[in-house]
Amino acid sequence: MTQQVTGWRKSSRSSQQTACVEVGRIGDGAAVRDTKDRTAGYFTTTTDQWTSFVAAIKHGRYDG
């Protein structure tokens, strides 16, 4: 059974850019897709994984 993804949204920080990702809700987690090719599909992550990823970004873990 395929779960429905709802509430796709793009970060407000990337409102003027096209090379972005969108995040939607799916079951107990998140779905992520490329805004340039929405028909290519998406990957999913659990709520715990998504929360850890967002916290790492906020703490600069992936800063160049």
Report pLDDT digits (tens) over 28-37. 999 999 988 8
Is the pLDDT at 16 greater than 80, yes or no? no
Res. 1 pLDDT band, cuts 50 70 90:
low
Partners of 44 in the beta sheet? 31
Statement: the pTM of the whole predicted model exceeds 0.75: yes
Each domain of the chain, given as residue ranges in start order, spans 18-64
Q: Is 47 helix (H, G, I), strand (E, B) or coil?
A: helix
Sheet arrangement for strand 43-46: 6-10, 21-26, 29-34, 43-46
> What's the pLDDT score for residue 12?
75
> What's the pLDDT score for residue 38?
87
